[in-house]
Amino acid sequence: AQKITQTQPGMFVQEKEAVTLDCTYDTSDPSYGLFWYKQPSSGEMIFLIYQGSYDQQNATEGRYSLNFQKARKSANLVISASQLGDSAMYFCAMREGRDDKIIFGKGTRLHILP
């Protein structure tokens, strides 16, 4: 069974609009961490934001925020005021408390339109 599910294979958004990228996860471990990474067309993987399962507040990093709904097991990434440079593949990922590894979802390709 998939542990990380990203249901939007692709999205098109007008520049300057806010965008929400969906992510749901599945774990029975009470201790886990959730990550979002960006992969532009150049191919590198860029860390964006992190949310721990025990964090009381939603994480924010500049224009990025993570809408963490623990009961629904969702960790959506919100990008405010999107820019052309936000066009990229976005991956949601999780580390469970007992693991070293981070596992990734299949990604969402975001296209920002001028």
* R_g of the chain, CA atoms, integer Å: 14
Nearer to other proteins, 25 or 32 (CB): 32
Q: Using the structure block, give the residue that is written with the tokens 């959506």.
A: 76
Give alpha helix (H) positions in the chain.
none
Separation CA 41–CA 14 (nearest Å) = 19
Is residue 84 at the binding interface for other proteins, with CB under 8 A as the rule? no
Stretch that binds other proteins, among 17-25, 66-74, 76-84, 96-104 (CB under 8 A): 96-104
Nearer to other proteins, 81 or 97 (CB): 97
Separation CA 1–CA 7 (nearest Å) = 15
Enumerate binding residues for other proteins (CB under 8 A). 31-33, 35, 37, 42-47, 50, 52, 89, 91, 93, 95, 97, 99-107
